Amino acid sequence: MDKKLFSQAIVKFLSGLMLTAALLFLPARTFAYGQAWLLIGILFVPMFLAGLVMMKKSPDLLRKRLNARENQSEQKAVIALSGLMFLAAFVIAGLNFRFGWIVLPFWASCAAAIVFLFSYALYAEVLRENVWLSRTVEVQENQKVIDTGLYGVVRHPMYMSTILLFLSIPLVLGSVISFVIMLAYIPIIAKRIRNEEQVLESGLEGYAEYKQRVRYKVIPFVW
């Protein structure tokens, strides 16, 4: 086992867990926020298990997933906007619960949790299909175009899964207001995709032909 990689993964996992808890429970001013506990459970338990699997079977993929440093200025802006979006959505969700603005019933949060877990499974399948999948926009050494499985349906199945994931999060938290905030992810990810496809088309052999074969970027027959 790569002890350095393991330590890096554990630190990022715990940091994400503590940050998420702080952003939800501090604005709510209570730990009796059941929908926040529901999100933490469905978000971090599968994340921990997936990390263990990648640590054992694909440490290189885990290493790439932990690397979030973007070299391109346009993508740095996308990361910054995404961070602000999450910050606002989580804080508003906590305040929404505290003041009882528009709180969805718990059954609605459970239904959204099912969508979230389905999206997580979709995300895991994308990771399985594409060993070159990275959190940064780049063309890697010996990278090839993947055009089978989900990549034969849309060009960016990872973003398809993350749209479902991110839009279900505020519903799990019971906050309609946070859901409206998270809709900002769609134009943000559209900006990222435009830049990513320019990078891939200019640096990855066969990607231009792949774009002709697979017409839809994220949602079949829609986008």
Q: How do residues 35-64 score in pLDDT, each as one tens digit? A: 999 999 999 999 999 888 888 888 877 777
Domain 3-213 falls under CATH 3.30.43.10: no
Neighbours of 74 (CB within 10 A): 15
Token pair of 148 as six digits: 């089978």
What residues are paired with 148 via a beta bridge? none
Please report which confidence band the pLDDT of residue 116 belongs to, taking 50, 70 and 90 as the band edges: very high
pLDDT in tens, 117-142: 999 999 989 988 987 776 666 777 77
Q: What share of the chain is helix, strand, coil (3-state, %, to 5)?
A: 75, 0, 25
Q: What is the pTM of this model?
A: 0.91
- Domain spans of the chain? 3-213
Q: Do you know the residue count of the chain?
A: 223
